[in-house]
Amino acid sequence: MVTMKDVAVAAGVSASSVSNAYHRPNKLSADQRSRILNVAQTLGYSGPHPGASSLRSGSVGSLGLLITDSLSYAFEDPATVLLLRGIAQVSQMANVSLALLPSGSNASPPQTKNRRDLPVDEDVWPAVQRSVVDGFLIYSLPDGHPAVSSALNRGLPCVIIDSPKIEGVPFVGIDDRSAASRAAEHLLELGHHRIGILVDRLRPDGSRGFASQSRVRHAQDEVARERLAGYRAAFQQAGLDPSAVPIVEAGGFLFTEGQRAAEDLLRRHNLTAVLATTDVLALSALKVLRVMGKSVPEEVSVVGFDDLPESAAAGLTTVRQPLIDKGRRAAEAIIRSVAGETVGMTILPTKMEVRSSTGPAPINAALELAGPRHIAGLHES
Amino acid sequence: MVTMKDVAVAAGVSASSVSNAYHRPNKLSADQRSRILNVAQTLGYSGPHPGASSLRSGSVGSLGLLITDSLSYAFEDPATVLLLRGIAQVSQMANVSLALLPSGSNASPPQTKNRRDLPVDEDVWPAVQRSVVDGFLIYSLPDGHPAVSSALNRGLPCVIIDSPKIEGVPFVGIDDRSAASRAAEHLLELGHHRIGILVDRLRPDGSRGFASQSRVRHAQDEVARERLAGYRAAFQQAGLDPSAVPIVEAGGFLFTEGQRAAEDLLRRHNLTAVLATTDVLALSALKVLRVMGKSVPEEVSVVGFDDLPESAAAGLTTVRQPLIDKGRRAAEAIIRSVAGETVGMTILPTKMEVRSSTGPAPINAALELAGPRHIAGLHES
DNA sequence: CTGAAAGCGCTTACAG
DNA sequence: CTGAAAGCGCTTACAG
C-alpha cells in the first residue's frame, strides 16, 4: 500500500506538508498543495489512512449503536426502524457513519477466539470493546447488560435511549409510566374491568407465556416494567385488583410472537379489553380477534403503545410517542456530547390517540358488575 | 486515559506482556496473565484501544455499507430493510459490526470542512475515505457514483450488490432482465396490450413523471435499466411497440412517491395492466386503483417485482427475489474476501409468483384488438 | 510557508 | 515464558 511517506518522498516534501495538503489547505501555498495532490493521485494514494489519522487526531467520524438482541432486530421491529430512521437522518447531516454493533439476545457475550477466557467479572462486551467510534448510542438494553458497562468503561461519550436509566449518563426517552397509565385509564373510563395485558419481553431469557407476579416485579426490561407499573397504578386507582389482571409475555418483538401471545391470552380469558405494551402486540391482537370472529370494539377493545404508521390505518387506539424524533434527539445529543458539550436528559411528550379499536365495555359485561338496580336504571334512561 | 503502558508499569511487566495477556493467552503463564488483568481492572483500563490495535494488526472487525440516497433510506425502503436483515444476520454470526456510511441522494459529495477544496476529479467520497473498516459492501449505486471508485481506491475488499456491475469486483445479484421479461410475458400471455410501466428512479436527479425514450436509454440506475430492458424485450417478442408503452418515473422509493406516479400513469392512460419495477410501486398502484374504483384484476392487472412480505397479503402477482438471502450471501462474500479468499459472482434465482392481481385482459379490450371475425368466434364457442 | 521530531497506543517479530 | 526495539500511518506542536 502506498503511504503518506511515499507521497512525501515522491513530491520532494515532508510528510507534514502532505498531511496539511489534505487537512489544512491554508497552511501551504496553493501551488504546493495541488502539486502534492497530483503526485498522490498518480501514485494511487487514496488519502490518509483513517485509522492512523484517528489514532493521532482522536476523532473517527463514527457513532456506535448498541441495540438489544441480534443485529437484524434493528431491521425487524417497526418501532426500532422508525427510531433508527431519525438517528440516521441526523447522522447523515452531521456526516458521521453509524456502526451497528452486534449484540446478543441474552446477557452473555458471544464466544470470541481472542477473549475466550477473560475473567467474567470484567464485564467486557467484545463488540463494544473493539469498535472504533467516537461515542455510543445505547438503545433499550435490559438492566445489567454488560454492553452498557463496557461502553461506559471505554470512557467515550454515551447517550442512552429509553433504558437503562443511569445516573449521570445523558438520556433521551419518554415517561413510559404515566403514558401507560393514561392508556389504562382510557379503558377503565369506558367501563372495562375484564382486561388482559400483552407484553413483549420482561427478561431476555427466551421465556414466554403467562407471567407470574414475581416475574413481572423482577422484569429486567425497564420500559416494559415502567409501562406495566403505569397500568397497575391506574388499576389500583380505579379499585381494580392488579394481581387479578392476566399478563402474557410474547418473548419477542415479532408479529408472529405477538399473535401467539394474543391467542394465549384471548383463548384462556373472557376479556373485554386488551392492553398491549407495544403496537406490534396490539396489531397482533387485532389479527387474532379477527380470526376468532370477535368484533372490535363491540366485543373487545384494544389499546397499543407507540403509534406506528400502520396503527392509524388499522384504527388502533394507542399512545403516540415520537419515535423518529426520539432518534433525532438522541443522535443530536451524542454528537454534541462528542463535541464536548454537556448534555442532560430529554423527556419527550406522548399523546393518547383514541381511534376505533376502543369503545364502551359491552353491556352484558357492564351488567355483571352493575347488578339489578342498575339494570333497571338502564331501561329508564 | 489509562493506556497499556500504564498497566505495564503498574504490573511491573512489559507492554508486550500486557498485549499478550489480552490477545495471546497461551503466550504467558496463567498467573502472570491474571495478575496483569487484575492490575488493568483496578487502574480502570478498558482494554487495548481498538484504533491503535487495528493500525498495527490491520483488522478492525467492521464492514462498511454503502447505500444510495440518505442513510435513513436504509430504514425506509422495505426491500432494503430485508436485504439489510440478511446482512445483519451474517455480520452478527461473524461478530463484526456494520457501519452504515452516509451517502447522498445526488452524485456530489456533501461539503465537509476539511476536504472542501480537494480537486473534484479525485472522485473522493468523504464518508468512504474516512471510514475505519475492513471492507465495503456496495449496494445498488447508480453508474458513476464517486463512492464506488472511492471505495475501490481504498484498496480494501469490496462486494457489490445489484449494481454497478464492475469487471473483477465480486458481485451478488439476480438476473434482473430475464426476470422482468417473464413478468411482462405473463401479462402478454393474458392478452394485455395496453400496458403502462412504473419505475422508481432512472437517475438520482430528483426528476419525476413521464420518462422520455432518451431518459430511459440513458438511465444511470442499472437495476431499473435492466428491468425496463427486460420488459422491452418481451414487448418486442410479442410484436408490441415498446416506444408506445408509457413509463412513469416516481423519482423515489417511498409509497407516497409511488402513488403519485401511479396516479399520473392511470389518470392519463386507459390501461388494462401495470408493470411496476418494484413491489412498493405495484402496491401503490393497487392503492390508487382502489381509490379510483377500478377492480383488480377485472379491469386492471398489476405486476410487481421483489415479493415483499406485504405483497402476498395483498395478492400481488410479482417476481420473487430472495432479498434476505441476497443480503446473507453478500455478507458472506465480503467476510470471505476480507479473510483473503477469492470470491466471484453470485446470481440468485428468481421466481414468478402469480396471485390475484393479474387476470385476463378485459373482453372489450380484447375485442378492440380482435376485430369482427374473432367476435363471431367468441359467440360460437 | 516548510520540515524534523515526537508521539498517538498498540502489536509484532526477534532475541534471550 | 519475557522484554527491548521497531514500526503500523499518521498529526501535532514547535522551530525555523
If one compares A11 and A76, the residue with the highest pLDDT of the two is A11
- Mean pLDDT to the nearest integer, B10-30: 88
Task: Inform me whether the pLDDT recorded for B210 exceeds 60.
Answer: yes
Q: Which residues of B touch A130 (CB under 8 A)?
A: 50, 53, 60-61, 97
All domains of chain B in start order, with CATH: 4-57 (1.10.260.40), 62-174 (3.40.50.2300), 176-321+350-370 (3.40.50.2300)
**pLDDT number for residue B236:** 97
Find all residues with CB under 8 Å of B23, minimum gap 6, and list them: A114, B48
Q: Strand C contacts (CB < 7 A) among A residues 143-162? A: none
**pLDDT above 60 for B311:** yes
CB contact under 8 A, B46 and A154: yes
Which residues 248-277 on chain A approach chain B with CB closer than 8 angstroms? Answer: none
Q: pLDDT at position A26, please?
A: 84
Amino acid at A217: R
- Three cell numbers at B315? 395478492
Over the stretch A284-308, which tens digit does the pLDDT of each residue have? 999 999 999 999 999 999 999 999 9
What's the distance, Cα to Cα, between the start and end of chain A in Å?
89
Task: Determine the Cα–Cα distance for residues A50 and B282; give it in Å rounded to an integer.
Answer: 43
Contact criterion met (CB below 8 Å) for B371 and B378: no
pLDDT tens across A267-284, in order? 999 999 999 999 999 999
pLDDT given at position B358: 98
Beta bridge partner(s), residue A64: A99, A136
Tell me the CA–C1' distance in angstroms for B57 and C12.
9
Angle between helices A78-94 and A323-338 (to 10 degrees): 40
User: Rounded distance, CA B179 to CA B320, Å?
Assistant: 9
- B198 CA: distance to closest CA in chain A (Å): 24
Q: Tell me if A196 sits within 8 A of A246, measured CB to CB.
A: yes
Percent of chain A whose predicted confidence (pLDDT) is above 70: 90
Check residues B85 and B369 and name the one with the higher pLDDT.
B85
Question: How many percent of chain B have pLDDT more than 90?
Answer: 67
Mean pLDDT of chain B, nearest integer: 88
CA angle B162, A64, A103 (to 5 degrees): 80
Q: Which amino acid is at B248?
A: V
Paired with B274 in beta bridges are B196, B302
Across A154-168, average pLDDT: 94
Whether chain A has a CB inside 8 Å of the CB on B178: the answer is no
Q: Report how far residue B91's alpha carbon sits from residue A38's, in angstroms, rounded to the nearest whole number.
A: 38
Amino acid at site B197: I
Q: d(Cα B162, Cα B167) in Å, to the nearest integer?
A: 13
A254-257: long-range contacts (C-beta < 8 A, 24 or more apart)? A254/A76, A254/A77, A254/A280, A255/A280, A255/A283, A255/A284, A255/A287, A257/A200, A257/A208
pLDDT confidence of residue A299: 97
Q: CB of residue A27 closer than 7 A to nucleic acid strand D? A: no
Task: Quote the minimal CA–CA distance from B106 to chain A in Å.
Answer: 14
Q: Which residues of B touch A100 (CB under 8 A)?
A: 88, 91, 97-100
Residue B104 pLDDT: 61
- Rounded to 5 degrees, what are φ and ψ at B340? 100, 0
User: Using one digit for the tens of pLDDT, what is the confidence trace for B98-139?
Assistant: 999 876 644 344 444 333 344 433 567 888 888 999 999 999
B282 three-class SS: helix
Highest mean pLDDT among A104-108, A326-330, B56-60: A326-330
Nine-digit cell string for A85: 430512521
pLDDT digits (tens, 9 = 90+) for A18-58: 999 988 888 888 888 989 999 998 998 888 999 899 888 88
Give the C-alpha distances (Å, rounded to integers) separating A47 from A315, B33, B97, B151, B354. 54, 39, 24, 11, 51
Q: What confidence score (pLDDT) does residue A115 get?
A: 39
Greatest mean pLDDT among A150-159, A264-273, B28-37 lies in: A264-273
Nucleotide nearest to A14 (CA to C1'): C3
Q: What is the pLDDT of residue A374?
A: 41
List strand residue ranges (DSSP E) for B224-373, in order. 247-249, 273-276, 301-303, 318-320, 345-348, 351-353
Cα separation, B342 vs A64, whole angstroms? 30
Euclidean distance between CA atoms B43 and B3, whole angstroms? 10
Q: Residues of B numbered 11-40 whose beta carbons fall under 8 angstroms of chain A's beta carbons: which are they?
A: 22-23, 25, 34, 37
- C-alpha distance from A58 to closest chain B C-alpha (Å): 9
- Among A16-30, A210-224, A367-381, B193-207, whose mean pLDDT is lowest? A367-381
Q: Is the distance from CB of A190 to CB of A358 less than 8 angstroms?
A: yes
DSSP state for residue A1 in the 8-state scheme: -
Q: Select from B61, B88, B154 the Cβ nearest to the Cβ of A72.
A: B88
